[in-house]
Structure 1
Amino acid sequence: MPRSPRAGFPADVDVAIVGSGPAGAAYARVLSERAPQLRLAVFEAGPLISDPPGTHVKNIADTARRARAQRDSEGPRPLVEAASTDTMDDYATDRARLQRPGTFLLPNGPQGDGDTGMPAAAMSSNVGGMGAHWTGACPRPGDAEVIGFLPELGAWLDEAERLLDVSAEVLADAPFADEVRKRLSVALDHDRAGDRQVQAMPMAVRRAADGRLLWCGADTVFGDVTRDNPRFELFSEALVTRVVLEEDGQCVRGVRVRDLRTGTEHEVAARYVVVAGDSLRTPQLLHASGVRPAALGRHLNDQPQLVYAVRMRDLPDLPPAAGGGVGVSASSGVAWVPYTDAHPYHGQVMQLDASPVPLEDDDLAPGSVVGLGWFCAKELRAEDRIAFRDDEMDGYGMPAMELHYRLTETDLAAIDGARTEILRAAEALGEPLDDTPPLLFPAGASLHYQGTVRMGDIDDGASVCDPNSQVWGVRGLFVAGNGVIPTATACNPTLTSVALAVGGARGIAAAES
C-alpha cells in the first residue's frame, strides 16, 4: 500500500485525498468498497510511523519504537529526545501551553483584545493523523449535538462504527466496570432519558487473538480492502500546498504536492479532491488555494474540559483483570455520561492508566482509582475563528495562523454546571485523591476542535460545505474531519466526523456508478 514519494507521484488520479487520519481513511475505504474502478491517492504531510500504516502508537510494544513514532509525529520541530513520551506525564497540570507527546503546538498562542485564546491548540503530522494518538472513545451525538438536516446520519453513524470497529461491550465486563456504572447511575440518571443514561462507553478497541486489548486507528478504517486495492496508493511526507482549480474557480483540477524528502513540487490531476486534514489545516489549505468562503475558519470551537481523580470506596472483592494489553487496561472499563440539552456536557470515567489524570501512589490496586473527564459544549460564534497570514509562513511554508477565541458567559455557566456534576459523580464513586478541585484544562487541550469548514443545509454564507461535504460553489472539492461538524458538541467527535466522511464518499461513489 505505501509508496515512497521518491518513486514519483502519479500524473493523475480520480480522487486525491489530503490527509490520512480516520476521515481521510474513511473516504479511501468506502470508495475502495463501492467504486473500486476509481484510482485513489492519499497524500500525507507526515511520515510513516507504523506498519500497517495508521496503527495507533500505543499498540507498538517496543518502548523505543513507540517513542520514535511519537517524536516523528511532532511536526517540523519535534520535542527534544530527552522529553518524556508517556502521554500521562505532565498532562493534568495547570500549564497554559500543554503539549502531549505525538502532537505539536502552534509556535505561539496569539490572541486579540478580549480573547482568551487557544494556547493548547495542537496537531499531529503522521500517517494516521490524530487517530494514531487518540483515546478511542466513540459516543454517538444526542439531543442538540445531532445534525438535524441529515436524515441519513443514523445510517452513516452505523457505518462509521463498522469502519472504526466500535464496541460498547469490549470493556463493559471489566471487573469494576459494572460497579462504576451503577454508582454513577444512582447519582446522575434521575432526569435522563433511557438512551442518555449512564452506560458503557462505545470504544474503538478490539481484542486480539492472544487476549490483548488494542486501540483502533486509521489502519482499522483503511482495512484490508483498501490496502489490497491495486488502484490505491498512500504517499507519506507529501505536503499538498494547493488545491488546483479550473480557471473559473468553480471546479477542481487537482492538487499541487511538495515532496518533503526532496523539496520538489508536482501537480497531480484529479476529478475529485477531498481535504481531510484537521480543523486547523483543512481551512488553511483552502485559504492557500484561494477558496475563501465567508465561513472559512469561523465557528472554531473547542470543548472546555475538566478532569478529576477519585479513589473508589467499598469495592467488591473482585480481582482486577490481568494482562489488559499494551495500551488499554480493563480493570474498570470506561463509563459514559452522555450529553443532554439539560446537561450540556459529556462525561467519561476510566481507569487511570487510560486517563489523563496522573497517579502518584503506586500501592493503589489497579482499577481502584478512576479519572473523571467532563467536556462542555461551546457556544458557537462566528467571531471564534482562525485568521490566516499571507505575509507570514508556518514551519511547512503555509499561511501562518492566528486563533481568535473567547469563552462566553454561556460557556462559563456550562463549565460551572460541569464542575458541579463532576463533583456529584466523584462523591458517588469514592473519595478525591487530594483537596485539589477539578482542573479546567487550557483551551485547545481537548483536541476536539470543530466547525472551521462547517456543513450547512443551504448556502447562506454561514457554512463551507453542503450536506454531502462538497464545498459550496466548487464542484469536486470535498472537506472532511472534525471541522465539518456544524453543531455544538460535547461528545468525542471522531465517530461523527467519520460518519460525515461516509456520506461524502457514498455521494462520490453514487455519482460514479
Structure 2
Amino acid sequence: MSEREQTRTADVVIVGTGPAGAAYARILSEERPDLRILQFDAGPIITDPPGAHVKNLIDDNARARAQRLSEGPAPSSVYQSTDTLDGYASDAERIVRAGTFLLEDGYRHGDEAGLPAAAFSTNVGGMGAHWTCACPRPGEGERIAEVSDLDDLLAEGERLLGVSAELMGAAPLAEEVRERLARGLDPHRTRPVQPMPLAVRLEEDGRLWWSGSDVVFGDATRANPNHRLIDRTLVTRVRTVEGLVIGVRVRNLVDGREYEVDAPTVVVAADALRTPQLLWASDIRPPALGRYLNDQPQVVHAVKLRDVLPQDPTRAGGPVDVLSGVSWVPYTDDHPFHGQVMQLDASPVPYDGDILPGEVVGLGWFCAKDIRADDRVEFDDDRTDSYGMPAMRIHYDLTEADRRTLDRAVAEMVAVGELLGDAVFGDPIEFPPGASLHYQGTTRIGAVDDGRSVCDADSRVWGVSGLHVAGNGVIPTALACNPTLTSVALAVRGARAIAREAASALSLHRPQAGTHA
C-alpha cells in the first residue's frame, strides 16, 4: 500500500492519544490486529517512546522542552519549574501547571464562577504525559449504573495502566500515616483508608517509570503494523452522510495541508472540552452535548507529622522516588469527597528546613459536584480559537449544595490534619474552578437516548452509526476520585464493541483506497 493510501483510508480513526485513545488502540491491536488504525494528535511527539510521562525524563532540560512543546500554540516563554507540584498550593485565580495552557477567554460568563483554571495539553499522550498517576476505583454513588460489568472493566484498565497499590504503599512513614488516618476515619466510613493505587512500576535500576499513554499503548500497539500514529495533525471534522460515519477531515499543522480520510468508524478521544468541540464543528449536536460539565471542587492543606522516628534515608534513582508515599481516603455517599494524602516528593507543599523522609504531608480533597445541565461548554459558530475550531464559552457555577460539600470537606481536612500533625501554612486553600483538570460529563453515557446523554454504554454516539466518544467526558456520575482509570475502563468497553462489530460493519462499509485527492 502506498504512503498516500496509508494516510487516506482506515478501518478505524482515533482522534487523540491520551490514555483513553491509547486504550482503544491497545484493545483493537490485541483483539483485531487486522484492522487498519490511524490515530491523530494535534500535538507533537515529545518523548521516546511516544506518549511517555515527562517525569520519566531525568534530564531537566529535556523535561522542560517536553513541557513547552505541550503548551499549545503559545508555550510559556518564562522559566517554569519542571516539577508540576511546585507552587501547587496556590490561591491564584488562574493556576496553570507546567505542560498545560489555559483557556484563553470564554472561561467565565457574567457573574458565574466559570472555570478560570480550565487548561489543556496538546501533545502525544495528552494529559497522560503530565498527570499524577492516581488510579482509585469509583465506589458507591460514583459508580455508573448503565455499565453492568464495571468491575471487570476497571480490572482491565488497571492492567493497561500498570496500576499498583503496593509499590508506594511501602514508603517510609506511609504505614504510620495510614494508621493515624484509619484510627480517626474508618469507624465512621463505609470504605477504609488504604494505599493509593498508582500507575507506576519499579525498574531494575531502582527508578520509577510513571505510566503515560506509552504504557497503555503497550507492545501490542507498537508492534502492530496496521496501527499508525500521526502527530501535529488536527482533525477538524467528523464526516457523515445520513447518520453514517464515512471518515474525517484533517489539517497538517506543520504545512497547513488539508485532506480527507475515509473510515467507517471514528473514535473521538480529544478531552472533555475538545471532544464536544469537534462534534459541534461536525454538525453532530445532540441536546446533551457539552452539558453536565463536572469539575471537582478542590481544597488542599498541609501538615508536618508530629512524633515520628527517623527513617532510612536511602533513595532510589530518578526524578521522583519511592519515598513519596500516597494514601487514599475514598469517597462515600455519606462523605462525598475523595482524599489524596501525599508525602514528601509527592506533596504539593514546599517546606524549608530539615525534614524526615515522608514527614511533610499534603492533603488534597476533591468534592463530588452537584451535576446540572446548565453547567456546560458552548461553542460559537462565528468565532474560532487559535486552532480555527469553534470558540468555547463556559457556563459553570457552584450551587448551595456544592458550597455545603466544600465546607464539609474543609472541616474534615482540618480534622485529618490534626490527626497527623501541625499545619504548615494555616487554613486549607480552596482552588479556583477548573484546577482539578478532571473535567467530565460533556459527552456522558446514558441508558437511553432521552436528550440527557450523548452516547450509550459502549460509548456509541446516539443517532450516528460508527461514531464513538472516549475520555473523561463520557463519565455521567458525580465522580469525585481521579477519573483516568474509569475513562480507560469505559474505553475498553467501547473498543471491544468495535472489535465485535468489525467483521460485519467494516466489510459492508470499507471504502475504496484513493477516493480523495
TM-score tier by shorter-chain length is over 0.9
Q: Which runs of 5+ in 2 are unaligned?
A: 504-517
Please tell me whether residue 198 in structure 1 is matched to residue 188 in structure 2.
no
Give per-residue Cα distances to partners, 1:295-317, cap 9 Å, x unaligned. Answer: 00000010011111110011134
Q: 2:437 aligns with which of 447, 456, 469?
A: 447
Match of 1:19 among 16, 21, 25: 16
CA distance in 2, matches of 1:316, 1:477: 57
Confirm whether residue 223 of structure 1 aligns to residue 218 of structure 2. Answer: yes
**Residue in 1 aligned with 2:501?**
511
Matched, 1:375 2:366: yes
Q: Deviations over 1:5-34 (max 9, x none)?
A: x98861200000000000000000000000
1:149 Cα offset (Å): 1.9
Superposed, 1:30-429 pairs within 5 Å as 30-193=27-190, 196-246=191-241, 248=242, 250-323=243-316, 325-327=318-320, 329-357=321-349, 359-429=350-420
What per-residue deviation string (whole Å, max 9, x for no partner) do you get for residues 400-453 of structure 1?
Answer: 00111000000000001110111111111111113x210000000000000000
Residue 148 of structure 1 and its aligned partner are, at CA, apart by: 1.0
State the secondary structure of the residue aligned to 2:247: strand
Over 3 Å counting, the alpha-carbon distance change for 1:7 and 1:206 in structure 2 is farther
Distance 2:106 2:187 in 1: 42
Do 2:58 and 2:318's aligned partners in 1 also have CA atoms closer than 8 Å?
no
Say if 1:148 and 1:427 are closer, same or farther in 2 by CA, change over 3 A. same
> d(CA) in 1 for partners of 2:80 and 2:106?
21
Aligned AA for 1:343?
H
Structure 2 CA distance for aligned equivalents of residues 410 and 8 of structure 1: 55
Aligned-pair distance for 1:56?
0.2
Q: Which moved more, 1:223-232 or 1:317-326?
A: 317-326
| TM-aligned CA distance change 1:330 to 1:117, over 3 Å | same
Aligned residue identity for 2:397: R
SS of 1:172's equivalent? helix
What is the identity, as a one-letter code, of the residue corresponding to 2:395? H
Deviations 1:237-288 (A, max 9, x none): 0100000001x1x110001010001100010011100000110100000000
Equivalent position of 2:471 in the other structure: 481
Question: Conserved in 2, the CA contact under 8 Å of 1:256 and 1:267?
Answer: yes
Normalising to structure 2: TM-score of the pair?
0.95
Question: How far did 1:174 drift?
Answer: 1.3
What is the match of residue 438 of structure 1?
428
Contact 1:465 1:479 in 2 (8 A): yes
Contact 1:143 1:341 in 2 (8 A): yes
Report the CA distance between 1:321 and its aligned residue: 4.5
Q: Give, in angstroms, the shift of residue 82 of structure 1.
A: 2.9
Counterpart-to-counterpart distance in 2, 1:380 and 1:388: 20
Cα distance between partner residues in 2 of 1:91 and 1:99: 9
Contact 1:320 1:367 in 2 (8 A): no
> For residues 9 and 75 of structure 1, what CA distance do their matches in structure 2 show?
27
Q: Distance in 2 between matches of 1:417 and 1:266?
A: 53
Decide whether the 8 Å contact of 1:180 with 1:332 is kept in 2: no
Contact 2:311/2:357 (<8 A) preserved:
no
Cα deviations by residue, 1:160-218 (Å, 9 ceiling, x for unpaired): 0000000111111112111010000011111223xx10000010010011111121110
Q: Which amino acid aligns with 2:366?
A: F
The aligned residue for residue 512 of structure 2 is none
Q: Secondary structure at the match of 1:204?
A: strand
AA matched with 1:337: V
| CA deviations over 1:46-78 (Å, ceiling 9, x no partner) | 000000000000100111010000000000111
Q: Check conservation: 2:300, 2:428, Cα contact below 8 A.
A: yes
Structure 1 residue 356 displacement after superposition: 2.3
**8 Å Cα contact 2:444/2:476 also seen in 1:** yes
CA–CA separation in structure 2 for the residues paired with 1:150 and 1:464: 15
For 1:47, the aligned partner's letter is P
State the Cα distance separating 1:230 from its structure 2 match. Answer: 0.4
1:333 is displaced (CA, Å) by: 1.1
Name the SS for the 1:455 alignment partner.
coil
Report the alpha carbon displacement of residue 83 of structure 1 after superposing the two structures with TM: 3.6
Amino acid at match of 2:233: A
Partner Cα separation in structure 2 for residue 493 and residue 480 of structure 1: 12
Task: Output the amino acid matched with 1:118.
Answer: L
Partner of 1:495: 485
Q: Is the 8 A contact 1:9 1:266 kept in 2?
A: no
Q: Which runs of 5+ in 1 are unaligned?
A: 1-5
CA contact (8 A) 1:120 1:442 kept: yes
For 2:360 and 2:5, the matched residues in 1 are separated by 52
More moved, 311-320 vs 441-450: 311-320
Equivalent AA in structure 1 for residue 471 of structure 2? G
* TM-score, length basis structure 1: 0.96
> Residues 245 and 467 of structure 2 are in contact (CA less than 8 Å); yes or no, is this contact kept in structure 1?
yes
Q: How far off its partner does 1:467 sit? A: 0.8
Identity in percent: 60
Equivalent residue letter for 1:186? R
Check the 8 A contact 1:168/1:203 in 2, yes or no: yes
2:187 alignment partner, SS class: helix
> Quick one: distance in 1 between partners of 2:107 and 2:297?
18
CA contact (8 A) 2:60 2:82 kept: no
Q: Size of the alignment, in residue pairs? A: 501
**Which position in structure 2 is the counterpart of 1:3?**
none
